[in-house]
Amino acid sequence: MLNLIVVKDYDEMSLVSANWLADEINKDPSLVLGLATGGTPEGLYANLIKMYKKGSLDFSSIKTFNLDEYVSLPRENESSYYTYMHNHLFDHVNLNPNNIHLMDGNVTNLTIERQRYDQLILDKGGIDIQLLGVGVNGHIGFNEPDSTLKIDVHVTRLAKETISANARYFNSITEVPKFSLTMGIGSILRAKKIILIADGEHKAKAIKDLFRSEVIDPLKPVTFLRLHPDVTVIIDEKAAKEIEL
Ligand code: GLP
């Protein structure tokens, strides 16, 4: 089930989604949160930090699991999702470092790493709320359009469109990693609730696919969210452009 909220622009999306998440955290201060990276959630995270600093939000018992991470990009690289999360959230709120979980794309054995991460999510009781953005090509996490999609945490080859879209975070497009670790479609759908945020005209096609596709299509990974019972979609008017309201 999709619940749609259309707002004016990026700032309003960031505020409304942060308030939505803050309400959930206040209802259950020991939630297990699945977190996303990218340009889209930066404003949301900035608002959560403001709330924390004002004293209206407490992360001390929250547990987090990140959605994805590049393979073979050192953690200290400023474009790693490890560094992104520290810069945009972790270093500014009272999360217990033991409660922060990220995949490690630099281990020698990625199979063991995938299994470790799947198991850890299970051990913590599963993800309560998964935050998602969406790629221009309809990917969620790094589940790229393909003839089949993987269920659990796995290694994936980034699509050309994704490499181009993420090149802005690197000195040149050749520096963008070609592979990443990502939660699978099953890992995402197992979350009890999902919140997806998107802004801008470049996301309108993916949002149209999410709402209007009549089939579940692995070439449009975002369509799999139609199988989930509780997805809140908060998007700006530009991203909503291709869905007639
Ligand atoms: C990235 C991430 C996704 C993110 C998406 C959109 O590559 N792997 O988790 O949701 O692509 O990114 P952005 O928010 O920068 O448009």
Instruction: Measure the CA–CA gap between 30 and 22, rounded to whole angstroms.
Output: 12
pLDDT at residue 41 in the model: 98
What pLDDT is stored for residue 197 in this prediction? 99
| Predicted local distance difference test score (pLDDT) of residue 83 | 98
Block means of pLDDT (10 residues each) for the chain, 245 residues, are: 97 98 98 98 98 98 98 96 98 98 97 97 97 97 97 97 94 96 98 98 98 97 98 98 85
Is 139 part of the annotated catalytic residue set? yes
Q: Please report which helix (H) or strand (E) contains residue 6, including its range.
A: strand 2-7
Q: Annotated catalytic, 144? A: yes
CA of residue 16 to ligand 1 center, whole Å: 19
AA letter at 48:
L
Q: What local confidence, expressed as pLDDT, does residue 105 receive?
A: 97
Q: Could you tell me the distance, in angstroms and rounded to a whole number, from the CA of residue 154 to the centre of ligand 1?
A: 17
Name the strands in the sheet holding 154-157, side by side, starting at the edge strand that comes first in the sequence: 68-70, 179-182, 154-157
Which of 124, 125, 131 is CA-nearest to residue 183?
131
pLDDT of residue 47: 98
What's the pLDDT at 21? 98
Residue 218 Cβ < 6 Å to ligand 1: no
Those residues with Cβ within 8 angstroms of residue 55's Cβ, 6 or more apart along the chain or in another chain: none
Spell out the SS3 assignment of 173-215: HHHCCCEEEECCHHHHHCCCEEEEEECCHHHHHHHHHHHHCCC
pTM value is: 0.97
- Tokens found for residue 52: 């924390």
State the residue for tokens 């054995």. Answer: 109
Token pair recorded at residue 13: 């999306």
108 Cα: distance to centroid of ligand 1 (angstroms): 25
- pLDDT for the residue 245: 65
